[in-house]
A and B are shown apart, each in its own frame.
Chain A
């Protein structure tokens, strides 16, 4: 029986995980490496000091036992990691990538932007409970890991980052294979395939997709709806707080132009950002003239221009991963602001970033009849 039959689309495999989900995932990956399905695995590992996690491209299977498929922090957005390995081509190594759904979505956006090559990559996502703010985590890594584990058990997002608390796409399947922990019986989880590549891999692993995933789907639906409700409420509040030019300027008044948000953003792939380029370096007379017209200007000026420019450049692909907010030394709620804007801009084109490789980026396509509401009604 072929596992790619259409009537099996809503099926998955229930995997028993007596030693825990983490161990079971690692076992499957190891088996896949043994069988030569993958040559390497890209997966988070704990760093030697134990105070953080980093993506490691693993070829030596013995390292897999140190892997940490669902770390409590997002130290590097996984999209960055995939892009750094495949940006210049596909290579010969077949790589399995284990990441959170928003990281997979970023990877897919990067692929559309020509910054990753997914040909030899198998994307494996996991139901995501959110991550801790990196500063909270670092204040006591050991304790944080425990707190996170407890929170995962209860699927409780209170301690997670604000942008994770309002993420309604934390179980969104857009890669090749998904690991569903929600709605599963004790000591087990679901494996779901969502592409031909995924089917092939599971086929080779003798994992038959014959079990019902109804309970996973039901649970995901409940959680997503809850989160969506919270999202709408929180973003409405945020909009009332930062809406309007005065509030917006205030919101960004602490910005120190370090551009950390841009650097860690998986979508901002430009080698040299416009806002670091010569275009934003002006003669002193210009600055003085601008100061004179108002009595004073903040120096450097154009903080809000940078933020709004970035919204123009990347909000259509923003996956609301929250990396920007984690990296902001001034704790500006950038991720929440960008997530809010992204909802609106993506909504304009009925686009969801990273949903599908086949959907073109909205700004590189068009329809002849659309968006008449932004045109002058007299025309």
Chain B
């Protein structure tokens, strides 16, 4: 039996109560969570050190302005934090952070992770026109009933990895139907129990309701299948790829917000991808014409091979795409297909090696001549 913490407040208030306790008891020096930062309600990740600043915090707000894994990496890139910091992140953000830690782009040391079973988030576009606030009650109604809220990002609609793997605490949002009255936080690790000690709340012995989670998962899987089937009809060879990516404007926003793409200078922005006039002349001779700047397809295929193995399907790429290319589904579908080859779930465990830096002596004989 896992220990759990019961707070008789709605889930968001419960989490805030916990964060307040952590800050005020000095168990953590800072809290990393979503917060309203402007008068018109813009929500951004913030690092909070004074508990009265928590009044504007919205830890469970259904939006991912930036994948927090990328932010935690930035926070700990120059070395682990010497002061403990609690971070409230979504499961895919946690998995992204783990993948980055594996790539030596951050450190888990002194980061106390609070995650949740995740109901998904809305597209960034809805943050722009302010429609998330209008949809909030509908969102929580759906989550309460373990349903998929309408208008979610497609990456979230079809996400089967809504339960965090390596969080110290997990806020249960999916398998409870009274999240508006009660906040249940599971203490998964010793650190989790340690940090909860002293909090004025009820301590229970409890498990996540596996049956309910499974039921929810099958809803998500059904949705995923639909999305995958739809994209599969379009991803048919080079013509299909050109149809899909033809409208790409080459902003590389997908790469820049991708939590896995950590390179300081991307290959596709490096001198390797700048061409001499003689290169163009050669291509012109052969093709009669060439799109410029070139390398639209090369960039997308290249990114698939570089990050597909670790793609956590967070959907940030699609969220920032100014021309609405269904990147999240393409990357998720291709990503999952290669991850399956190695039985790898990116970010599940810090011990598991990234498949491309390890090997077995006897494998994949089928790809050899």
Task: Report if A and B touch in the complex (beta carbons < 8 A).
Answer: yes
- For A79-105 the 0/1 string (1 means CB < 8 A from B) is 011001111111111000000000000
B277 touches A90 (CB 8 A): yes
A93 touches B281 (CB 8 A): yes
A272 touches B277 (CB 8 A): no
Please tell me if A336 contacts chain B, counting CB pairs below 8 Å: no
Interface residues on B, range: 35 or more
A291 touches B47 (CB 8 A): yes
How many angstroms from the CA of A329 to the CA of B125 in the assembled complex? 7
Please tell me if B352 contacts chain A, counting CB pairs below 8 Å: no
Please tell me if A184 contacts chain B, counting CB pairs below 8 Å: no
Please tell me if A308 contacts chain B, counting CB pairs below 8 Å: no
Please tell me if A182 contacts chain B, counting CB pairs below 8 Å: no
B293 touches A60 (CB 8 A): no
A296 touches B35 (CB 8 A): yes
How many angstroms from the CA of A264 to the CA of B293 in the assembled complex? 12
Residue in contact with B322 in the complex, picked from A63, A284, A329, CB distance below 8 Å = A329
When distances are taken between beta carbons in the complex, the residues of chain B under 8 Å from A379 are none
Please tell me if B278 contacts chain A, counting CB pairs below 8 Å: yes
Please tell me if A318 contacts chain B, counting CB pairs below 8 Å: no
Knowing A48-B242, A88-B277, A254-B127 are in contact, say whether A298-B44 is a contact too (CB < 8 A): yes
A48 touches B52 (CB 8 A): no
**B107 closest partner in A (C-beta):** A284
Please tell me if A244 contacts chain B, counting CB pairs below 8 Å: no
Please tell me if A276 contacts chain B, counting CB pairs below 8 Å: yes
Please tell me if B267 contacts chain A, counting CB pairs below 8 Å: no
Please tell me if B78 contacts chain A, counting CB pairs below 8 Å: yes
- For B245-272 the 0/1 string (1 means CB < 8 A from A) is 0110111110011000000110001110
Residue in contact with B29 in the complex, picked from A87, A258, A288, A326, CB distance below 8 Å = A288
Knowing A253-B38, A281-B78 are in contact, say whether A329-B249 is a contact too (CB < 8 A): no
CB under 8 Å from chain B, chain A span 239-291: 249-250, 253-254, 256-260, 263-264, 271-272, 276-278, 281-285, 287-288, 291
B265 touches A272 (CB 8 A): yes
B275 touches A88 (CB 8 A): yes
The distance from the CB of A8 to the nearest CB of chain B, in whole angstroms, is 34
The distance from the CB of A308 to the nearest CB of chain B, in whole angstroms, is 17
Please tell me if A305 contacts chain B, counting CB pairs below 8 Å: no
How many angstroms from the CA of A55 to the CA of B265 in the assembled complex? 25
When distances are taken between beta carbons in the complex, the residues of chain A under 8 Å from B128 are 254, 330-331
The distance from the CB of A107 to the nearest CB of chain B, in whole angstroms, is 13
When distances are taken between beta carbons in the complex, the residues of chain B under 8 Å from A191 are none
Please tell me if A34 contacts chain B, counting CB pairs below 8 Å: no
- For A105-134 the 0/1 string (1 means CB < 8 A from B) is 000000000000000000000000000001
B79 touches A295 (CB 8 A): no
The distance from the CB of B138 to the nearest CB of chain A, in whole angstroms, is 22
Residue in contact with B292 in the complex, picked from A57, A282, A327, CB distance below 8 Å = A57
How many angstroms from the CA of A334 to the CA of B228 in the assembled complex? 36
How many angstroms from the CA of A88 to the CA of B83 in the assembled complex? 49
Please tell me if B45 contacts chain A, counting CB pairs below 8 Å: yes
Please tell me if B280 contacts chain A, counting CB pairs below 8 Å: yes
When distances are taken between beta carbons in the complex, the residues of chain B under 8 Å from A57 are 280, 284, 289-292
When distances are taken between beta carbons in the complex, the residues of chain B under 8 Å from A134 are 249, 322-323
Further 17 A-B residue pairs, CB within 8 A, beyond A47-B247, A134-B249, A285-B82: A42-B292, A47-B246, A49-B243, A52-B247, A55-B292, A60-B287, A81-B292, A138-B247, A250-B40, A258-B257, A258-B320, A285-B81, A285-B83, A296-B47, A328-B322, A329-B322, A330-B124
Please name 16 pairs of A and B residues whose Cβ atoms are closer than 8 Å in the assembled complex, sorted by A.
A80-B293, A91-B278, A91-B281, A93-B280, A134-B249, A134-B323, A281-B77, A284-B75, A284-B80, A284-B81, A284-B83, A288-B81, A295-B49, A296-B47, A329-B253, A331-B128
Closest 7 CB pairs of A and B: A91-B277, A60-B288, A47-B246, A52-B247, A295-B50, A253-B38, A253-B42
Chain A residues engaging chain B, CB cutoff 8 angstroms:
40, 42, 45, 47-49, 51-52, 54-60, 62-63, 75-76, 80-81, 84-93, 134-135, 138, 249-250, 253-254, 256-260, 263-264, 271-272, 276-278, 281-285, 287-288, 291-292, 295-300, 326-331
